[in-house]
Amino acid sequence: MSVEETVSLMTSEDRFFIDLIEPELEEKISRASLEELLAAKSSSKSIYKLIYEPKKSWILMLDNSITEQVKAASFDDLLAQRRRYDKIVDELIEPILKNNVSAIIDEFAKSGSYDSAGSNSRLLVKIAEYLTPTQWENILEAFFQNDQLYCSFSCYKGFESLFKKSLEITNFVQPYWLTFRENLNKFNDNRGNSLKRLIDNPYSNITVSAD
C-alpha cells in the first residue's frame, strides 16, 4: 500500500484502527520519495480538516519530510515535481526558483507537450518578479517558436496569469507585451482570444495587489 493510500485511511473514526496503521504510515513517510510525499499531501489536502487533533502527528511528519527532501533535492528533481509546487510552502520553494530563473525560462522554451507548456507557463508566474526586461522579451519570443506553446490552451491560460502578474508588478503594459499582442494576430484560431482581450483592455480585467 502506498503512502497516498495509507493517508486516505487516516480519516477513520476508529481510534483503535488509527493506532494500528499510524506506525506503518510513519515508516512509509520516512522511506518515501519526494514525488510520493507530494502525492500523499495532494490527496490528503481535502481531508486535513476532518482529522482530529490526536491524529495530526503524521501530518507534521509528512510536512517535515517534504521540507527535508526539497532542501536536499537537485533543481532538476524539483522541476520534475512542478505540477505539485502548491504543496510546498512558498518560503521553501521561492528561493530555489529565484536562483534558477534562466533554467526555468529554458525549460519553458523547450516544452515538449501541451501539458508541460501549461505547467511551465504557470511556473513563469512564480518567477515573474525576478525577470529582467530581456528575459521577458525572450519568454514572449519563445512562445512563437514552439508549437507546443502556441497551440496549448493551458499555456494561453498561463500567459493570462503571467500578463496580470506583469501588470501587477509594473502598473502599466510593458512594450514587449504590445509586440507580443501584435504577433498574436498571426493566429486565426480561437485559442488566444481571451488573452488578446486581456491585453487590449488590461485595466478592466485586473485588480492590482496592494502588496
Kindly tell me if the per-residue pLDDT of 207 is higher than 60.
no
% of the chain exceeding 70 in pLDDT: 84
Minimal CA–CA distance to 118: which of 76, 75, 162?
162
What pLDDT does residue 2 have?
79
- Output the CA–CA distances (angstroms, integers) from residue 101 to 45, 55, 84, 110, 155, in the order listed: 29, 39, 18, 15, 18
Identity of residue 176: Y
What pLDDT does residue 10 have?
65
State how far the Cα of 51 lies from the Cα of 108, in Å rounded to an integer.
39
DSSP state of 174: -
Q: What is the mean pLDDT of residues 94-98?
A: 90
Q: What is the mean pLDDT of residues 45-71?
A: 69
Angle at CA of residue 126, ends 125 and 128, nearest 5°: 60
Q: What is the mean pLDDT of residues 27-40?
A: 86
Confidence of residue 118 (pLDDT cuts 50, 70, 90): very high
What pLDDT does residue 161 have?
96
- Which three three-digit cell numbers place residue 18? 488509527
Kindly tell me if the per-residue pLDDT of 67 is higher than 70.
yes
What angle do the packed helices 175-184 and 133-143 form, to 10 degrees? 10
Kindly tell me if the per-residue pLDDT of 179 is higher than 70.
yes
